[in-house]
Structure 1
């Protein structure tokens, strides 16, 4: 939101959740935040009151999970324009479909949801700290493949398969694996061989963006694993390319969604076993990104598209 302020737009920010404790986040994710005794409805009414008292003209819901139709209805009745952007597909979070008809404008990172629900398509972006020109080139890209992400759904199996690839020269891997509770992940490991394999590498402390950027600039390839059922390009896609690394992705739509100028930087795979065909020792350096490529990957392009959607003053 600070980026909007730098453009001269006054911004207030509110947290949709009444609590960000791990226990409460788990309840929200399980869809248990709207029960009769939940503090969430009262919290959302308080947020509504604060928005109205501040005389806000527009509300942008970004990546929200627990916002409900009554909340949006209260804002609309006050003459406030409500906008929406999501980086989750309906296969993962679909509550917003219950109030989609009330919105003044709406956009998504997922091209399939854009088509199916008549939403604007606005791809994600990378923050400037991932720009290899700003963080400096490493002396050598000494890691073949890097990966950073939350080890949810099928990712434990994918990472375990990556660690188990049999090659003449073992792959040099940079792995930054996160899960919100090592104890809960340990429970998963009791019934999953893949989870047991990666469990020693799990951190329950989020990695800093600067540490992630440093790992990206040391890697020849970054592995991108989207959520099942989603076709939109993840933030990792943009961060990888801005950091000057090659993208190794399980997103079959990635090549079609990116400008053609990125073609030599993107490899789509259907399975981790496909890595056997890549000669990592023959991978040479990439040329610097052009101005057009950098702009496409940037926060500036993202904000330009959001501002146009919301009809904000230039």
Structure 2
């Protein structure tokens, strides 16, 4: 089957999706879901889409192989794809099935719901969105081979806790505080890595935003860790810390990757309690608990979930469910 995939290029996840599709015998063409040549373009396309819409549409029209004879078109998030472009694609690829997937809460994806009419199937990682929007199918995220129990260490871990993520909201202070508590209880250093995509933008935020003003710039990296480095750190940690964005209710990729490597999780997302892999021995949901309850949680050994549940979150199963129309 010939597949056209539009998606973000975030942390190379699209490459993993393509690898699985190709392993199943599909031929895949990929196009970034937004047209950007720099981090400044990325910010501009999100904050001022009207200024970039014509240039973006022209870019996509030139990028798409209109003689591609695609049988399946997958759009993940699709911020840069206008309704006009989707309409042209529906006419140009009349025999193709169209699948939409959001790995962001729809309140954060401008105009997404207006595009649903162009798709044969619509899916999301956000359980709340799926409960509130008709025909929106719940499909949580996945773990890939780099985050499987085969690569994880079970003893003599170097770190008490690990956090790797992009700065937003109160994430720096919340994560730093939690990492210090875990460090103290396990008597072992924690690993924290705070990423921001643009140093100039960060410096501006330090002037105009009181939360960013408190973040020491030496604690921030403007270069990403490699996928392998992230996996290595997580696999060498007792506990993984996850702090999702306050405007996002879907489970993060980090949550599912933590399941993949059979590690314990500390998270601020209480909806994880509704997943079949949730166990109180493995997952600590931040709320009104006292420090003593966290200390008790850290003493529990990890309790493996059933193989059926574990495998259901693997990327191979995720792709299989994604392409079903």
Q: TM-score, normalised by structure 1?
A: 0.86
Q: 1:193 to 1:20 in 2, by over 3 A?
A: same
Write the distance in 2 (CA, Å) between the matches of 1:91 and 1:229. 8
8 Å Cα contact 1:63-1:87 kept in structure 2: yes
Shift of 1:207: 1.0
Q: TM-score, normalised by structure 2?
A: 0.83
Q: Are 1:76 and 2:93 matched, yes or no?
A: no
Shift of 1:264: 2.5
Gaps of at least 5 residues in structure 2 are 1-17
Structure 1 window deviating more from structure 2 (33-42 vs 273-282): it is 273-282
Please give the residue correspondences for 1:288-303 in structure 2 after superposition, counting only pairs within 5 Å.
290-303=306-319
8 Å Cα contact 1:151-1:177 kept in structure 2: yes
Gaps of at least 5 residues in structure 1 are none
Counterpart of 1:66 (choices 64, 68, 80) is 80
Shift of 1:121: 0.7
User: Which residue of 2 is the match for residue 182 of structure 1?
Assistant: 199
Shift of 1:192: 3.0
Structure 1 window deviating more from structure 2 (217-226 vs 157-166): it is 157-166
Q: Between Structure 1 and Structure 2, how many residues are aligned? A: 303
User: Which residue of 2 is the match for residue 216 of structure 1?
Assistant: 234
Q: Are 1:57 and 2:71 matched, yes or no?
A: yes
Q: 1:282 to 1:64 in 2, by over 3 A?
A: closer
RMSD: 2.7
User: Which residue of 1 is the match for residue 287 of structure 2?
Assistant: 270
Write the distance in 1 (CA, Å) between the matches of 2:51 and 2:192. 39
8 Å Cα contact 2:76-2:102 kept in structure 1: yes
Task: Find the residue that maps to 2:244 and give its secondary structure.
Answer: coil
Write the distance in 2 (CA, Å) between the matches of 1:306 and 1:36. 30
Please give the residue correspondences for 1:1-314 in structure 2 after superposition, counting only pairs within 5 Å.
1-30=18-47, 32-35=48-51, 38-48=54-64, 50=65, 52-78=66-92, 79=94, 80-118=96-134, 119-133=136-150, 135-137=151-153, 139-162=155-178, 172-190=189-207, 191-192=209-210, 195-256=213-274, 258-260=275-277, 262-270=279-287, 274-275=290-291, 277-279=293-295, 283-287=299-303, 290-308=306-324, 310=325
Task: Find the residue that maps to 1:84 and give its secondary structure.
Answer: strand
